[in-house]
Amino acid sequence: MNERPMDIAAEIDQRWSSLTIADDFVFGKVMLDEGICRRVLEAILRVEIDHVEYIGRQEPIDVTSDSKGVRLDVYVRDDAGTVYNVEMQAVNTRELPRRARYYQAVMALDQIEKGEPYRALKDAYVIFVCGFDLFGQGRRVYSFQSRCSEDCSLTLDDGAHVVFLSAPSPEDPSVGADVNELLDYIGTGQVTGELSSQLETAVRNVLRSEDCRLEYMMLAVRDQLNVEKGREIGLQLGLEQGRAEGLRDGLAKGKAEGLRDGLARGKEEGLRDGLARGKEEGLRDGLAKGKEEGLRDGLARGKAEGENRFAKLVSALIAADRADELTNIASDAASRETLYKEFGITE
């Protein structure tokens, strides 16, 4: 049964006080502080940024009316025109590299108007701050740029950068103290320095804000209701599409299961049916094959035995000094049989 909106709101309200910076809503609100946002970007990218300008925060960007819109956690531009998208990602959805590719494309289309030259595109960074190690190599920072496969020292220089941070990975001095402090705070909530202290204060301010609480509840209730509505629509569509998809999937699954079950049942039924059919087919085929083989073997054997018996008769006639009768026995079968009996030649 679907939850009522009031029940959903009460449940979400209970979660509010336990939220941390690892929640994308809280993170986005904290990053609205320009000083914190600039320092976080400087820590991650190890560059100096004079100031940042907010392009949008968790507001859908629709490039075309029929394209997939995106809602970015943090979307800012610095004084040099470089654009940054920073996303807090608590759960591994198994598609972050593809999503990063799409975000880069959307940000590029959002930067230039129709007719503008491509050189107007500024550098763009898509940064995912993850509560997990996406690549499983124990690194805290994974930075990507397009490079030549044949010569890794040759970069494409298209201005597109993608960075993945891993909060649970062990501390790495090579990435800088601020990044380690940032990721430790995101992963454990422990304040260990100036940056994490700033973040902790900002998080507490967000959680004390009634406006933020109401906005969070509104967004969360909307998302939950969309999930419930999606289930109902999905059920309806599933019933309509089930027959077509069931037939397709059933054919594939049926072949696999049919082969497995057929092998088991085939042995039993094949033995039973084979015994019955084997007698009938064996008799029929045996008669046909027997005639053919008997005729062939009989001709060969009869010819051999006939020639042997005739040779014995010829020898007997010559020994009896009756060679003059050889001409007669060659053409007269009756004379041959008489002589066979006379000389006792049986085979």
pLDDT value for 298:
63
How far is 165 from 228, CA to CA, in rounded Å? 33
Residue 162 burial (10 A CB sphere; 0-12, 13-18, 19+): buried
Mean pLDDT lowest for which of 30-39, 254-263, 318-327?
A: 318-327
Q: How far is CA 19 from CA 55, 89, 143, 148, 239, in A?
A: 26, 14, 28, 43, 39
Question: Of the candidates 94, 81, 158, which has an alpha carbon nearest to the alpha carbon of residue 130?
Answer: 94
* % of the chain with per-residue pLDDT over 90: 50
CB atoms within 10 A of CB 127: 23
Is beta strand 160-166 parallel, antiparallel or unpaired with respect to 124-130?
Answer: parallel
pLDDT value for 58:
55
pLDDT value for 245:
84
Question: Of the candidates 73, 136, 137, which has an alpha carbon nearest to the alpha carbon of residue 103?
Answer: 73
Q: Which residue's structure tokens are 């902790």?
A: 200
Mean pLDDT of the chain: 87
Taking only the tens place, the pLDDT of each residue in 289-307 is: 878 876 787 677 766 666 7
- Average pLDDT on 4-15 reads 75
Measured over the CA atoms of residue 313, residue 315, residue 316 and residue 317, the dihedral's sign is positive
> How far from the centroid of its chain's Cα atoms is residue 83's Cα?
33
- Average pLDDT on 213-234 reads 76
Taking only the tens place, the pLDDT of each residue in 118-153 is: 999 999 999 999 999 999 999 999 999 999 999 999
- Three-class secondary structure of residue 61 per DSSP: strand
Q: Which residues contact 312 (CB under 8 A, 6 or more apart)?
A: 343, 345
How far is 318 from 341, CA to CA, in rounded Å? 16
Taking only the tens place, the pLDDT of each residue in 227-271 is: 666 566 666 667 778 777 877 888 898 888 988 888 888 788 878
Q: Is residue 222 pLDDT above 50, yes or no?
A: yes
- Every domain of the chain and the residues it spans: 5-208
Q: Is residue 310 pLDDT above 80, yes or no?
A: no
pLDDT value for 337:
82
| Tokens representing residue 217 in the block | 């509840």
What angle is formed at CA 56 by the lines to CA 77 and CA 47, rounded to 5 degrees?
A: 25
pLDDT value for 312:
80
Identify the band that residue 1 occupies on the pLDDT scale cut at 50, 70 and 90. Answer: very low
Identify any residues that bridge with 78 across adjacent strands, giving them in sequence order. Answer: 52
Question: Of the candidates 195, 328, 97, 284, which has an alpha carbon nearest to the alpha carbon of residue 186?
Answer: 195
Q: Is residue 206 pLDDT above 60, yes or no?
A: yes
Alpha helices of the chain — where are they, by DSSP H? Answer: 5-16, 24-30, 34-45, 96-111, 177-188, 194-208, 210-319, 326-331, 333-343
- Three-class secondary structure of residue 181 per DSSP: helix
pLDDT value for 285:
82
Is beta strand 160-166 parallel, antiparallel or unpaired with respect to 141-144?
Answer: antiparallel
Encode 283-317: b = buried (16+ Cβ within 10 Å), e = exposed. eeeeeeeeeeeeeeeeeeeeeeeeeeeeeebeebb
Q: Is residue 60 pLDDT above 70, yes or no?
A: no
pTM: 0.64
Q: Is residue 286 pLDDT above 80, yes or no?
A: no
Identify any residues that bridge with 130 across adjacent strands, giving them in sequence order. Answer: 89, 166
Taking only the tens place, the pLDDT of each residue in 65-100 is: 556 667 888 999 999 999 999 999 999 999 999 999
| Tokens representing residue 320 in the block | 């009896």
pLDDT value for 246:
79
Mean pLDDT lowest for which of 45-49, 225-229, 307-311?
A: 225-229
